[in-house]
Amino acid sequence: MAIHSRQPGFLHALLTFGLIVTTIGIGLFVLQTSLHSLMLLCLLIAGVSARTLGAEYDAIKNAMNDSIYSALSAIYIFILIGVIIAAFIEGGTLATLLYYGIRLIEPAIFLPAGLLFCTIMSLATGTSWGTAGTAGVVLMSIGESMGFPVAVVAGMVISGACFGDKMSPVSDTTNLAAMSSKTNLYAHIKSMSYTTGPVYLIVLTLFTLYGLNYRDSIMPAEHLELLCDGLDSAFTISLWTLLPLLAMLALSMRRVSAELAMAASALVAVLLAMVLQRQEAGVVLNSLFNGGSVRSEVTELNSLLGRGGIASMMWTLSLSLMALALGGVLDRFGFLRVLIVGILSRVKRAATLVATTIITSLFGNMGMGEAYMTIILGGQLFGDAYDEKGLDRCVMSRSLEEGATLTTALIPWTTGGAFFASTLGVPVMDYAPWALLNWMNPLFSMVLAYTGFALFRTDQP
């Protein structure tokens, strides 16, 4: 598609991007403005900047439309996650997991056990969003009932979910990073294991130590027993209610698309709600939009059982649409491309190239609103630089994942950040310090690069 406008200069691109980041920073931290309003202002800044390059209005609008179109799968998943959470509540899946989780999991091991559970589920399914929307919601409820700070639990969930998503051979971002970097999928995963594996062990240790130190403040057994009794009175607690979760796991492991796996899982949960929980069909179907409708005699449980539904995802969806539109303008009219090329011309060392890849991927997420576009753009722009320095492209694919896949959860206006905040019910700025893997892994990788560790060369056997 021809674009009848000139490319921005480096200073022009830097000024545009700087204005956008400054607008968001001041709006969020000084004025405490709505992210949606800030995204609207940023769209205006990007549009005016593109217009000064000679871009026509229709070209700017098409750039926005195309970016949104490219992320339709993520939009469908937003909606389906809301449906799944509501269906799991109505079908008793969430209640059963909560019931046995409260009874069987010792508070002292809750955080490491939850981290491992999210890791295994995301490795099996290849999706951090699906893991957060199912296992994550359950763990948030269990952790909250045990008295853990919700920000800590959310950080644990996201760390485990993102590790599995990043390392799973069935993950879309894992395959995309390998494909964009033109490297073998398993060489890419092996390369990531050198940096992500040690960090994961550190994160597991830190959550274990935190859980041990916190056990004195855990709620008394009488209160937990009251919660279990409330669940037992509101639902039929049965292992049959785990069928929706097993269906999603089985379909995901057979490489069925995430949308179909989620839809099938929700359908099984709806059937269980009508057959096993004896809910009326109309009530169950309405809950898929409005959220869980079950009410317990225990007041505290009602907030846990009133989540989900398509309506609950609308804040996230609308913010993501605006962020994607902004990313489309910045990408189509070359602002990010010019910045990256300008920065690469100043990179001399192999280790600096790795650090540059990770940092520019972070800023790419900030500008384009999601990791997919950042990974694709990075694969196009960094490849020659890695070849010139004799670095294997699996180092580039690893750096793209660490800079793009992991950091998207730490930025409030990206699709990932908005999704996790909405699904887990914790603002990004609250859980970000506790999403240990997501910020420790990129930092660790950059430090290791300057030691020369795991900088695989193309001439190595």
**Whole-number CA gyration radius for the chain:** 23
Cα–Cα distance measured from residue 269 to residue 273, given in angstroms and rounded to the nearest whole number: 6
Q: For residue 268, what are its two tokens?
A: 């099984």
Asked if 166 contacts 192 with a C-beta cutoff of 8 angstroms, the reply is yes
Give which of 252, 181, 140, 207 is closest to 405, Cα–Cα: 181
What's the Cα-to-Cα distance from 227 to each of 48, 92, 94, 230, 232, rounded to whole Å?
A: 55, 15, 13, 5, 9
pLDDT computed for residue 2 by the predictor: 46
CA distance 398 to 427: 28
- pLDDT by residue for the chain (461 residues), tens only, comes to 445 568 888 899 889 988 988 888 888 778 888 888 888 998 999 999 999 998 888 999 999 998 888 777 777 877 887 888 888 888 888 888 778 877 777 778 889 989 998 898 888 777 788 788 878 888 888 888 777 899 999 999 999 999 988 888 767 788 878 888 888 888 898 999 999 999 999 999 999 999 887 666 555 666 667 778 788 888 888 889 989 888 887 887 787 877 888 889 899 999 999 999 888 889 889 989 988 777 777 766 776 677 778 888 787 788 778 888 888 898 889 888 888 888 887 888 888 999 999 998 998 888 777 787 788 778 877 888 888 888 899 999 999 999 989 999 999 888 889 889 988 989 999 999 999 999 999 999 999 999 988 888 886 54
Enter the pTM of the model: 0.77
What's the pLDDT at 429?
A: 92
- The whole-number pLDDT of residue 1 equals 46
What is the pLDDT, as a whole number, of residue 368? 73
pLDDT of residue 99: 81
CA angle 404, 203, 136 (to 5 degrees): 70
